Amino acid sequence: MLASGEPVFAPDEPLAELHAHLGGGVDPATMWELAREQGIRMPYEDYWSFAAATNIGSGTQGLDGLNHVYEFTELIQSSPEGVFRAVYAMVGGAYRSQRITTHEVRFNPAKRNRGGERDLDAIVMAAVHGLDRAMLDYPVRAGLTLMMDRAFTPKLNAAVVERAIRFSNRGVVAIDIGGPRPGGPEARYDYSALRPLVERAREHGLRVTFHVGEEGVNAADPRPHIAEMHQVLDLEVDRIGHGIMAAYDDELRARLREQDVVLELCPTSNLRTAAVRDEEQMAEIVYELASDGVPLVVATDGPEMIGTRLRAEHAMLVRLGALTREQARDANRRAHERSFVRDR
Ligand SMILES: [Zn+2]
C-alpha cells in the first residue's frame, strides 16, 4: 500500500533516486518471467504467491527477513541475461512510473555469479549494457554502484572493488557495503578495515556511499551503532545509506554537516524492517535531522520489494510533518546535485 499524502511534485517533474537496490527494484512480472526462462525452481505455486513473497509491503522479520527475500531475487538475477534485463526494467520502470531521470542502481555482482560459477566481469558488463539500453530508450542518466558485503572475505570485497575500477568509465560510479553482519545483528562491523579499498577506489575516481546507522535507534545500548557511523565518517565517505542513528547523536550530526556528507533516507524501508518503531518515530528522526541542517535526500531502497514509490516517500514525510513541502523539494534538488552520475 502506498503512503498517502498530498503530492509534492507535479506529475512531469523529474525526480532523482540515489538509493535503490537491484534486488528490490525490479517489477515482479519481469522477475517471474526471468525465473521461468532460466528454469529456476521456485517454492511458489503461481505468479501471485511469488509476487506476494517478494514484496514486504506488509512487513518482514526485521532486516534478516529482508535479506532472506534478497537471496531469492539475487538468485533470479544470477546470470548476465538476468542482470541485463533487471537493470533495464528497473531504470525504465522508474522513469515511466515516477519520472526518475537521475537513477543510481546498486547491486553486489559477487552475489549474482552463482558462487563463482559465472564470471564477475560478465555480470558487471551485462549491468552496464542494461544501463546503456535504458538510457537509449528513455531520457535518463543512470549509474551503477557495486556493493561489497559485510559477510564477505576481504579478498572477495577487493574483487568487487576491482570490478568497480575496471568499469569506472563505463557506468560504475561508486562503491557501497551492505548485507548482514557476520556475527549477527548485534555484532559490530569494523569499517576501518575497508580503508585501503576505499582509498584505491577513490584514486580511480569512484565515489563512496556506505550503509551504516540504519539499525540501533531503539537499541538498549546505541553506542556501538554510533561508533560504527563515526568509523564510516573517518573514511571520508561522500554519502551514507540511512544513517538515521545520527538523529540521536549531536556529534554525528555536527560531523555530517561539517564534512557535508549526505544521508540517503529510506523511510518506508526502515518501517518495514522495523529498524524504526512507527511513523511517529520516523517523523521525529527526519525532523531532527532536517531541522539541524544535516544534508539529506529521500530514496526508496528498492520500490518493488519495499512496496513503495519515490513520490510516495516524499509525500509521506510531508504528511507526517517531518519535512515541509519546500524541504522535500530541496531534498530532490539536492539528489540531482549530489548524484554520483555524471554525463558520460
Ligand atoms: Zn539499502
Q: What is the pLDDT of residue 223?
A: 94
Q: What is the pLDDT of residue 118?
A: 81
Q: Look up the CATH superfamily of 15-338.
A: Metal-dependent hydrolases (3.20.20.140)
Q: What is the pLDDT of residues 260-293, one digit of tens each?
A: 999 999 999 999 999 999 999 999 999 999 999 9
Residue 43's contacts (CB-CB under 8 Å, 6 or more residues apart) are: none
**How many Cβ atoms are within 10 Å of 296's Cβ, its own excluded?**
26
Q: What is the pLDDT of residue 288?
A: 98
pLDDT tier at 2 (50, 70, 90 boundaries)?
A: very low
Cα 269 to middle of ligand 1, angstroms: 8
Alpha-helix runs per DSSP H in the chain: 28-37, 47-53, 62-76, 80-98, 120-137, 154-166, 195-203, 223-234, 250-259, 267-272, 279-291, 303-306, 310-319, 325-338
Cα 266 to middle of ligand 1, angstroms: 8
Domain ranges in the chain? 15-338
Q: What is the pLDDT of residue 183?
A: 85
Q: What is the pLDDT of residues 151-201, one digit of tens each?
A: 999 999 999 999 999 999 899 999 999 998 888 877 899 999 999 999 999
Cα 141 to middle of ligand 1, angstroms: 20
Number of helices and strands in the chain (H, E): 14, 8
d(CA 127, CA 143): 10
Q: What is the pLDDT of residue 214?
A: 96
Cα 334 to middle of ligand 1, angstroms: 19
pLDDT tier at 58 (50, 70, 90 boundaries)?
A: low
Q: What is the pLDDT of residue 62?
A: 67
pLDDT tier at 117 (50, 70, 90 boundaries)?
A: confident
Give CA angle at 50 (46, 53), nearest 5°: 145
Q: What is the pLDDT of residues 30-40, one digit of tens each?
A: 999 999 998 98
Cα 176 to middle of ligand 1, angstroms: 9
In this predicted structure, the answer to whether residue 105 has a pLDDT above a threshold of 90 is yes
Cα 21 to middle of ligand 1, angstroms: 6
Give CA angle at 296 (194, 209), nearest 5°: 20
Dihedral sign for Cα atoms in the order 57, 60, 63, 66: negative
pLDDT tier at 338 (50, 70, 90 boundaries)?
A: very high
Mean pLDDT of the chain: 93
In this predicted structure, the answer to whether residue 27 has a pLDDT above a threshold of 60 is yes
- Per-residue CA distances from 313 to 4, 197, 282, 317, 337 (Å): 9, 33, 12, 6, 19
Q: What is the pLDDT of residue 1?
A: 39
What average pLDDT does range 206-232 have in this prediction?
A: 96
In this predicted structure, the answer to whether residue 245 has a pLDDT above a threshold of 50 is yes
Q: What is the pLDDT of residue 343?
A: 65
Cα 178 to middle of ligand 1, angstroms: 7
Q: What is the pLDDT of residue 229?
A: 98
Cα 211 to middle of ligand 1, angstroms: 7
41: burial class by Cβ within 10 Å (0-12, 13-18, 19+)?
A: exposed
In this predicted structure, the answer to whether residue 89 has a pLDDT above a threshold of 70 is yes
Instruction: Please give the residue that has the higher pLDDT: either 54 or 101.
Output: 101
The pTM of the full predicted model, rounded to 2 decimals, is: 0.94
* Residue percentage of the chain with pLDDT more than 70: 97
